[in-house]
């Protein structure tokens, strides 16, 4: 993996922007009128989605590979509070990890979340210096599907 990342963003009119890395493309939008649905996630929603995806992958990796837990699935509910004044930054974030699988050890989940925050998830590490991030979890025992 390279140390350099590159994104090309193109303003499409209104508040719609497409961004791509030469292979994948995302659309972000920020409707200026209340009740109007945009053509994509807002940039702050994209940031929150990045945190959810990064932390989900790193927690799952630790649980399955390092701690050998019987995880059948993992989801993250990410919620954020945004300041009212400009710049309307995220002031606090909550992450709820829903770990699916019979026999998953709660202490292992605590450890995996800590490792994700402290060592593996770069998005979490970047955000936590200026934004309060609280993590919680619950284990759902009756999951059937398997995550590889």
| 61-66: Cβ within 8 A, 24+ apart | 61/120, 62/111, 62/112, 62/115, 62/116, 62/120, 63/99, 63/104, 63/108, 63/109, 63/112, 64/147, 66/112, 66/115
Q: What is the pLDDT of residues 47-94, one digit of tens each?
A: 999 999 999 999 999 999 999 999 999 999 999 999 999 999 999 999
pTM listed for this prediction: 0.91
Residue 113 pLDDT more than 70? yes
Specify the pLDDT at position 144: 56
């Amino acid at each position: 993996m390279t140390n350099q990342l590159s994104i090309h963003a193109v303003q499409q009119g209104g508040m719609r922007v497409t961004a791509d890395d030469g292979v994948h493309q995302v659309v972000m939008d920020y409707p200026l009128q209340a009740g109007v649905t945009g053509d994509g996630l807002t940039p702050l929603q994209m940031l929150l989605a990045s945190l959810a995806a990064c932390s989900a992958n790193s927690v799952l990796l630790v649980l399955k590979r390092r701690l050998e837990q019987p995880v059948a699935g993992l989801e993250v509910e990410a919620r954020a509070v945004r300041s009212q004044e400009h710049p309307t930054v995220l002031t606090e974030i909550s992450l709820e990890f829903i770990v699916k699988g019979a026999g998953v050890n709660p202490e292992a989940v605590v450890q995996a979340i800590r490792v994700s925050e402290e060592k593996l998830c770069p998005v979490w590490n970047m955000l936590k210096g200026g934004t309060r991030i609280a993590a919680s979890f619950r284990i759902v025992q009756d999951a059937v599907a398997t995550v590889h």
